[in-house]
Amino acid sequence: MNSHSDNNDKRPITHDGPASKSQESTAHSGVPLSNCFFDYKHVGGRFFGLVSISIISLLGCIALGMNNPKQFAFSWLFAFTFFLTICIGSLFWILVHHGIDVEWSVGVRRQMENVATLFPVLSLFFIPLIFVAPLLWKWMVIPHGSSHALLEKAAYLNLPFFWMRAAFYFLFFSLASLWLRKLSVAQDNDGDPKYTVMAREITFASLPFFGVCLTFAAVDWLMGLDFKWVSTMWGVYIFAGSALSSLCVILLIITALRSVGYLEGIVSERHYALIGQLMTAFTVFWAYIGFDQYMLIWYANIPEETTYFLRRNTESWCILNIILVLGHFLVPFILLLFRNPKKRPAYLCGIACWILLMHLLDIYIVVLPMIHPAGFHPSFLDLLSLIAIGTALAAVFLKRLGDVPLWPLRDPRLKDSIHIVV
Amino acid sequence: MEKITKVTMNTSAPTITTAGPATAPLFGLGIEFESARDLYHAAEKVRDAGYKKWDTYSPFPIHGMDEAMGLQKSWLSALVFIGGLTGFTLALALEFGTSSFLYPLVVAGKPTNLFTIPAFFPIMFELTILFAALTATFGMLALNGLPRWNHPNFNWDRFNKVTEDKFFIAIESSDQKFSFEATSAFLNSLGGNHLTAIHEDSGNE
């Protein structure tokens, strides 16, 4: 069902495969339909490789975590947050796509949807955190009344509300992403524009929830590591990293699919140039928000606020923080500043890998200094947690990749996306 | 203003209208098209014929026209980069250089060394943006040869339609490949109407 005799995308559409049941063909002529299903032959045995690596690292995490549950808790939160930000970012790009009728991203939207709908799987990886929650979020175990700050925040920081919120975040993220993907897939069959309109309505209903869930998830799980500390820019800061890193992941997925012969005639150098422009913008945005947060705290010099940066700008964390500023902003900014290289997929992919590495460092500096105030202290658990969650998500992603076409076959704006002008 | 002068060279000679004072130097040859599509394809032919000093005129931007005209990447981005860099360096020197090194200002006992640079970031950022934006605006005007009082094309009455529904190509006489006979025959072969010899303003001499 996923092969096609006609690979020449200059030819008008010929219906084939499950998508061919529709009789409506003239409206979409000129849009290639061939080769639209992912063939599992490209994955092959690697799928089981990923699953076994995931299980082995999961077992390793449990074994090492038994001896050092505190380190496990923080390592797991670090790895979990890294993948959470990527999924959140993908959902953000889908919402942007539907919300403002973006043309260029039609061809790559399905991959955003595939990444964003990993939320249900991701929520499973939140379960270990439930068991180690008191080790992570100290306010949970502080006796009632012994901390004035906590008493003042008790209306928000209390156990029932905390877990209800967590459940709501996952419910919202999963429902929104699954629903939007469902509409998108439904449109593949008949190309009815009503799905586009429905997706837009869902998007506008979702946007406030998205902002609230993203902000409070960041507040609950990351800012809550030190319940006395506050930063009003925290949610935006995490969002900036999410949007940028998910863009990089999408770029890498698109490139991987292109390298095995998919998306031909759908995604071109022009789309790379556009993704490159957004990467430039969000590199600057991340730096802007990150610096704003730093400067406001540094400038006001209030002890409750400065604790965050005092811990991260002393000992060996300071070196990592300087590397973060240079590596997450300066290096990609200079590399992305020039226009013509951004049209080269290989160049952009290199930068995308680098940015993802820096995003990893970003999350690492957010989470890990809380248990290692004396300085950078790498643990094998950091790596194992990353591998365990990463390979599991990659396996689920690959398993679902072939279920639906690789791009929205009959989106009304697909042709505009293909012929987008940069 | 417009006078029809039949230039009879051979049997297939095109009809050329004259616009502007005929005594003034020739600015170039212009031709009119009915649609953006015609203009686009004509531009491709002019590009392939090797002309360098020519331009297309249309009521709205046409996507891909830069490629059809064979235009190289604009120098504007380089100018903007230099402008931004100038603003950045200026802020660095004026703020950080003076108050941290030339005349160290000790505020609330805070140190004055390389690591105090974040205090000066906002101004560096703003000056970078300001200089880059101003360079973009004025650089664009300068690269377009603006502002100017008039353009020889406006001596051609039909050219006023360029802001309405007509499309034009003008090849300038200063082009190295330009020759009145060959270029007019070439323009005529592009399928447009109203081939016109456009003259400069007499005051320009």
Is the pLDDT score of B85 beyond 90? Answer: yes
Contact flag B81-A337 (C-beta cutoff 8 Å)? yes
Is the pLDDT score of B6 beyond 70? Answer: no
Chain A touched by B203 (CB under 8 Å)? no
In-domain check, residue A24: no
Chain A touched by B138 (CB under 8 Å)? no
Cα separation, A290 vs A276, whole angstroms: 21
In-domain check, residue A212: yes
> Residue B3: beta bridge partners?
B18
What local confidence, expressed as pLDDT, does residue A26 receive?
Answer: 37
What local confidence, expressed as pLDDT, does residue B203 receive?
Answer: 60
Chain A touched by B147 (CB under 8 Å)? no
Chain B touched by A326 (CB under 8 Å)? no
Cα separation, B26 vs A116, whole angstroms: 64
In-domain check, residue A67: yes
In-domain check, residue A99: yes
Q: How much of chain B, in percent, has pLDDT values that exceed 90? A: 34
What local confidence, expressed as pLDDT, does residue A366 receive?
Answer: 93
Contact flag B64-A421 (C-beta cutoff 8 Å)? yes
Q: Total domain count for chain A?
A: 1
Chain A touched by B137 (CB under 8 Å)? no
Chain A neighbors of B121, CB-CB under 8 A? 291, 295
Of all residues in chain A, the one with the smallest CA distance to B107 is A299
Chain A neighbors of B63, CB-CB under 8 A? 421
Chain A touched by B121 (CB under 8 Å)? yes
Chain B neighbors of A291, CB-CB under 8 A? 118, 121
Q: Is residue A149 a contact partner of residue A228, using CB atoms and an 8 Å limit?
A: yes
pLDDT average, residue stretch B7-24:
69
Relative orientation angle of helices A69-99 and A159-190, to the nearest 10 degrees:
40
Residue pairs spanning A and B at CB distance below 8 A: 14
Q: Encode pLDDT of B140-194 as tens digits.
A: 999 988 898 888 888 888 889 899 899 999 999 888 888 888 888 888 888 888 8
Helix (H) or strand (E) holding A186: helix A159-190
Region of residue A277 (left: phi > 0; alpha: psi -120 to 50; beta: else): alpha
More confidently predicted of B203 and A144: A144
Chain A touched by B111 (CB under 8 Å)? no
The tokens for A172 are 């919202």
Cα separation, B130 vs B88, whole angstroms: 10
With a cut of 50, which residues of chain A have pLDDT below it?
1-29
Question: For the purposes of burial, counting CB atoms within 10 Å of the CB of A47, is it exposed (0-12), middle (13-18) or buried (19 or more)?
Answer: middle
Contact flag B122-A340 (C-beta cutoff 8 Å)? no
The tokens for A80 are 């979990």
Q: Measuring CA to CA, how many Å separate A154 from each of B12, B20, B114?
A: 93, 83, 42
In-domain check, residue A403: yes
C-alpha distance across the termini of chain A, in Å: 35
Is the pLDDT score of B7 beyond 90? Answer: no
Chain B touched by A353 (CB under 8 Å)? no
Q: Encode pLDDT of A169-206 as tens digits.
A: 999 999 999 999 999 999 888 888 899 999 999 999 99
In-domain check, residue A26: no
- Candidates A289, A295, A321: best to mutate against B (most CBs of B within 10 A) is A295
What local confidence, expressed as pLDDT, does residue A32 receive?
Answer: 57
Question: For the purposes of burial, counting CB atoms within 10 Å of the CB of A271, is it exposed (0-12), middle (13-18) or buried (19 or more)?
Answer: buried
What local confidence, expressed as pLDDT, does residue A33 receive?
Answer: 64
Chain A neighbors of B64, CB-CB under 8 A? 421
Q: Measuring CA to CA, how many Å separate A135 from each of A77, A82, A141, A311, B27?
A: 11, 20, 9, 19, 81
Contact flag B122-A295 (C-beta cutoff 8 Å)? yes
What local confidence, expressed as pLDDT, does residue A219 receive?
Answer: 94
In-domain check, residue A422: no
Chain B touched by A291 (CB under 8 Å)? yes
Chain B neighbors of A421, CB-CB under 8 A? 63-64
Smallest Cβ distance to A421: which of B63, B118, B122?
B63
Is the pLDDT score of B5 beyond 90? Answer: no
Q: A290 to chain B, minimum CA–CA distance in Å?
A: 12
Chain A touched by B74 (CB under 8 Å)? no
In-domain check, residue A23: no
Chain A 295-314, residues with CB within 8 Å of chain B CB atoms: 295, 298
Chain B neighbors of A295, CB-CB under 8 A? 118-119, 121-122
Structural domain for A401, as ranges: 42-144+156-409
Contact flag A421-B118 (C-beta cutoff 8 Å)? no
Cα separation, B76 vs A158, whole angstroms: 57
Chain A neighbors of B118, CB-CB under 8 A? 291, 294-295, 298
What 3-state DSSP class applies to B62? coil
Contact flag A291-B121 (C-beta cutoff 8 Å)? yes
Smallest Cβ distance to A295: which of B64, B73, B121?
B121
On average, the pLDDT of chain B sits at: 86
Chain B neighbors of A339, CB-CB under 8 A? 73, 77
Amino acid (1-letter code) at residue B158: R
